[in-house]
Amino acid sequence: MDRPRITIFDTTLRDGEQSPGCSMNVQEKLRLAQQLDRLGVDVIEAGFPIASDGDFEAVQSIAASLRRPIIAGLARACTGDVDRAWQALQGAARPRVHVFLATSDIHLKYKLRITREKCLEQARDAVRHAKSLCPDVEFSPEDATRTDVAFLCQVVEAAIAAGATTVNIPDTVGYSMPEEYGNLIRTLQERVAGIDKVTISTHCHNDLGLAVANSLAGVQAGARQVECAINGIGERAGNASLEEIVMAMRVRPDRYPYETAIAGEHLYPSSQMLAEITRVPVQPNKAIIGRNAFAHEAGIHQDGMLKNPLTYEIMTPQSVGVPDSRLVLGKHSGRHALALRCEQLGHQFERRELDEIYRRFVVLADRIKKVQDSHLLELIQDVASGNVSSSDVTGSKGKKFPPAAATLQFPRAVSAAAGANASDSHPAQVSGSAGQASVSIPFTDHHSEQEDYLWGV
């Protein structure tokens, strides 16, 4: 049976760009939008055209240059905003006007200073106006999860009657819990007339670290569009992370039997491009695309990985576009990983020699955290020449420790690099990128295509 298709609505260029330090100029936004197109997102929210001339121009140029995805422009629930958004979207093959208005009593009382009656009327009028210009209209009741449920149902029903084709339910302040958010989506489906004719969307913020969990709960409850951002960027703690949502569905279709059109191999390049443009780095342990997401340092883990990557990886790095797993040589590394690295550097040792190398390696690793090839080669030379151990003293002056870490490639990725390195006396120097050495070794590939998503297929 066909799995329901989930529309991926990317708001990196709008909500994401609103996060501190993440602003982008028009050229940068266009470049990222082209990458989002390659990634396969269904909807690109390109900006908030009334907010600034730069935002207007960005929406305009993205709308004019991308033909496949829907291009959305954000507007507050008033004529001026809607007109400006529509103007920016003129060149779009598939335009969408996204109208929002806060509905919670907190926002009505303190921010907008309007009554519920006025809010209802404003939402209805703005959606009706947007619909008179554009067939594809999305409506978002901002702060929906803190809105009185009966009133929320009333506003959503009015927006649908006025022509909204997508209703988005924002957890604007990241307050909701997954079960609660799922129940809210269910309640709307039960109580709102006409909701079966429109797409229900999730838009969850990450203030309690639950944006992805809430979005998935929303999908399980019947939402068919997810709003999210690359690297999870967005206001405050961010939006639901696109890569986490997509890969949760892909790795666990037993729990989330849904399809997206995302090309997994473009996830990591998209993340890298965003980090490069904004100069906001990705936290190393970020799921899916963080630099440690496929790194293994503990000896037991390294040993398992060398025997079969399925032991500690639930998806392949390649399935998300990460070049390969990184096996970092540090103080938790075991003899097995060290021996393999030595072998890759052209040195094979008897048990007793390896014991000595390992003893010195542990001392060194304890001091410098990540042991690089150059350190290891020096250490090997010391042992071979019977030196007391320069590795034991190296580091005190700090001059011998360049920044890159030694890395090992796991079995599956070896074949591609093998030819290039075969005749080189220091293979580690040949195929490395960005200071990270990668060396070929003749292992077989343990991952079959079917095993790409361990539990998933």
Interacting residue ranges for Zn ion, rule: CB under 5 A: 15
Within 10 Å of residue 99's Cβ, how many Cβ atoms? 28
* Smallest separation, CB 240 to ligand KIV (Å): 11
* For ligand KIV, the closer CB: 11 or 271: 11
Q: What is the CA radius of gyration of the chain?
A: 26
Contact partner at residue 140 from Zn ion, ligand KIV, none, CB < 5 to 8 Å by partner kind: ligand KIV
From the centroid of its chain, how far is CA 279?
16
| Residue selected from 103, 140, 333, 372 as contacting ligand KIV according to rule CB under 6 A | 140
| Residue selected from 55, 142, 373, 378 as contacting ligand KIV according to rule CB under 6 A | 142
- The dihedrals phi and psi of 350, each to the nearest 5 degrees, come to -75, 165
* For Zn ion, the closer CB: 81 or 378: 81
* Smallest separation, CB 394 to ligand KIV (Å): 52
* For ligand KIV, the closer CB: 45 or 378: 45
* For ligand KIV, the closer CB: 45 or 373: 45
- The dihedrals phi and psi of 261, each to the nearest 5 degrees, come to -95, 15
- The dihedrals phi and psi of 8, each to the nearest 5 degrees, come to -95, 115
Dist. CA 115–CA 265, nearest whole Å: 48
Nearest C-alpha neighbor of 402 from the set 362, 430, 436, 452: 436
DSSP state of 205: B
* Smallest separation, CB 172 to ligand KIV (Å): 4
* For Zn ion, the closer CB: 201 or 319: 201
**Cβ atoms of residues 217 and 178 within 8 Å:** yes
Question: Does position 203 bind ligand KIV by CB under 6 A?
Answer: yes
Residues in the chain: 457
| Residue selected from 7, 10, 13, 15 as contacting ligand KIV according to rule CB under 6 A | 15
Question: Does position 214 bind ligand KIV by CB under 6 A?
Answer: no
* Smallest separation, CB 61 to ligand KIV (Å): 22
**Judged by CB under 6 A, which stretch of 84-92, 166-174, 255-263, 352-360 contacts ligand KIV?**
166-174
Strand, coil or helix: 136: coil
* Smallest separation, CB 171 to ligand KIV (Å): 8
Q: What is the dihedral of CA 181, 21, 73, 143, to 10 degrees?
A: 30
Within 10 Å of residue 117's Cβ, how many Cβ atoms? 8
Question: Does position 100 bind ligand KIV by CB under 6 A?
Answer: yes
146 phi-psi bin (left φ>0, alpha ψ -120 to 50, beta other): alpha
Q: Quote the longest CA-to-CA distance of the chain.
A: 87
Question: Does position 172 bind ligand KIV by CB under 6 A?
Answer: yes
**Cβ atoms of residues 218 and 169 within 8 Å:** yes
- Which residue's C-beta sits nearest to Zn ion? 15
Strand, coil or helix: 178: helix
* Smallest separation, CB 103 to ligand KIV (Å): 10
Instruction: List Cα–Cα distances, 264 to 7, 237, 271, 414, in angstroms.
Output: 15, 24, 12, 21
Dist. CA 260–CA 6, nearest whole Å: 5
* Smallest separation, CB 227 to Zn ion (Å): 8
Q: What is the dihedral of CA 112, 115, 118, 119, to 10 degrees?
A: 60
**Judged by CB under 6 A, which stretch of 24-32, 81-89, 167-175, 268-276 contacts ligand KIV?**
167-175
* Smallest separation, CB 258 to Zn ion (Å): 22
Question: Does position 170 bind ligand KIV by CB under 6 A?
Answer: yes
Contact partner at residue 166 from Zn ion, ligand KIV, none, CB < 5 to 8 Å by partner kind: none
- Which residue's C-beta sits nearest to ligand KIV? 170
Contact partner at residue 45 from ligand KIV, Zn ion, none, CB < 5 to 8 Å by partner kind: none
Alpha-helix residue ranges (DSSP H) falling in 66-115: 79-88, 105-106
> Which position has the token pair 């090992």?
408
* For ligand KIV, the closer CB: 101 or 273: 101
* Smallest separation, CB 170 to Zn ion (Å): 6
Q: How many residues bind ligand KIV (CB under 6 A)?
A: 9
Strands (E), 268-331: 295-296, 326-327
* Smallest separation, CB 327 to Zn ion (Å): 38
* For Zn ion, the closer CB: 15 or 244: 15
- The binding site for ligand KIV (CB under 6 A) comprises 15, 100, 140, 142, 168, 170, 172, 203, 205
